[in-house]
Amino acid sequence: MSTKAIAGVFRTLETPDLRVLTGIELALGSHAYPPIEDIRKYANLPLDEVRFRLNLLQKKGLLRRVSPDMIGYEGYSLNYSGYDCLALNALVKAGAVDALGNSLGIGKESDVYEGLRGKRRVTLKFHRLGRISFRQTRRTRGFVASRSHTSWIYQSRLAAEREFQTLKLVHGYRVSVPLPIAHNRHVVVMGLIQGLELNDVGTIDAPEIVLNNILLNIRKAYVRAKIVHGDLSEFNVMVRKNGKVLIIDWPQSIRANHPNATDILRRDVEHVLKFFKRKFKTEYPIEQTLAYVMGQLQQPQAAA
């Protein structure tokens, strides 16, 4: 189901529906496919009501029913759509979001939507791990097969948690990132950036100013917040019309004291330098630039 469609279904849900979904979520802590009895216990509703709601929720596409010939009894599990509804419900209740709008981007491992918080436009990033391309699936087939569906949902929650915590940390050190607003389950709510992915920017009057700005933010993250982004490229830098850059997509960031931090920092910087060389013919030497972002040089030096 598309995230947009989920917003429509979400509006039709009543309190007992959400209690049954929550009941499944809680029962999943001790059961891969909780039976109706366990769900009833957590939902704290009469059995008939739970049965009725489970049927309804299944018709709406918000859960998975596993038949007795698969597991010996009738069991239930959440899918991403059901999990989306639980997260949206919590975010609405917390006053973090009031409405879901248009798609801003379908990433490798996320769906990103515009939303409203009061009159303010915000961004909702739904983490969706496990949605892997065919080539990657082949390469890591053993890994994928050993992972249950609920485990991917859990991994997505961890990714969202990590991303939100990192956004808050680096934002506190004035690294240019979207404003972190709220987080629930696998969803992060942050400020909306009105701009383009660096990759989609056609021409830039002074590319070295934009590049210096990106490098300054890598430096602030490393020197002040002690964080390395870890997936930096022209796809994870947004540029506003006025040339201001913002760095997005932080779930895989690592601490600067991680044993591989310097290698990963080098890779991040190389991705950015290669892009500017290819697209804007702006060329910086890697070693000096690396020293600059690590705080060992005062200026990112342009080659002669």
Which active-site residues does the annotation give? 231
Print the binding letters for residues 244-263 with Mg ion: x by CB under 5 A, - otherwise.
-----x--------------
Write out the binding residues for ligand ADP, residues 37-96 only, by CB under 6 A: none
Integer Cα distance of 100 and 94 in angstroms? 15
Write out the binding residues for ligand ADP, residues 238-267 only, by CB under 6 A: 248-249
Kindly state the tokens that stand for 26. 């809680």
At its nearest, how many Å lie between ligand ADP and the CB of residue 132? 12
Q: Is 68 exposed, middle or buried (0-12, 13-18, 19+ CB in 10 A)?
A: exposed
Which residue in this structure is represented by tokens 């709220």? 182
Options 42, 76, 152, 235; binder of ligand ADP; rule CB under 6 A: 235
Name the one range near ligand ADP by CB under 6 A: 5-13, 78-86, 103-111, 217-225. 103-111
Is residue 234 a contact point for ligand ADP (CB under 6 A)?
no
Integer Cα distance of 240 and 195 in angstroms? 4
Contacted by 234, from ligand ADP, Mg ion, none: CB < 5 to 8 Å by type = none
- How many of the other CB atoms lie within 10 Å of CB of 172? 11
Nearest CA-CA partner of 42 in 25, 64, 63, 66: 25
At its nearest, how many Å lie between ligand ADP and the CB of residue 174? 17
- Cβ-proximal residue to ligand ADP, closest one: 107
Kindly state the tokens that stand for 279. 């697209």
Cα angle 289, 294, 296 (rounded to 5 degrees) comes to: 85
Site residues (vs ligand ADP, CB under 6 A): 104-105, 107-110, 112, 123, 125, 178, 190-193, 197, 235-236, 248-249
Site residues for Mg ion per CB under 5 A: 107, 236, 249
